[in-house]
């Protein structure tokens, strides 16, 4: 299972990329692709955090 700390770090990094990526990966051509990837990361990490919180005693 992915730790809550890791999920929060991924979300933080994705939010930073939404504002403006610091470096362009050679695999991604445009800022729109980077923002789309960040939106997907945000969505996925939110779902995983919700699952993590509902499983806490």
pLDDT above 60 (res 28): no
CB within 8 Å of 41: residues ≥ 6 apart = 10, 11, 13, 14
User: Of residues 22 and 18, which shows the higher confidence score?
Assistant: 18
**What band does 26 get if pLDDT is binned at 50, 70 and 90?**
low
What's the pLDDT score for residue 25?
Answer: 60
Domain ranges within the chain, ordered by starting residue? 1-19+35-47
Q: What is the largest CA-CA distance in the chain?
A: 44
Q: Is the distance from CB of 42 to CB of 7 less than 8 angstroms?
A: no
């Amino acid at each position: 299972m992915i730790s809550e700390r890791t999920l929060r770090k991924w979300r933080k990094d994705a939010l930073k990329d939404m504002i403006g990526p610091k470096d362009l990966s050679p695999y991604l051509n445009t800022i729109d692709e980077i923002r789309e990837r960040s939106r997907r990361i945000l969505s996925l990490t939110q779902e995983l955090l919700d699952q993590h919180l509902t499983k806490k005693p």
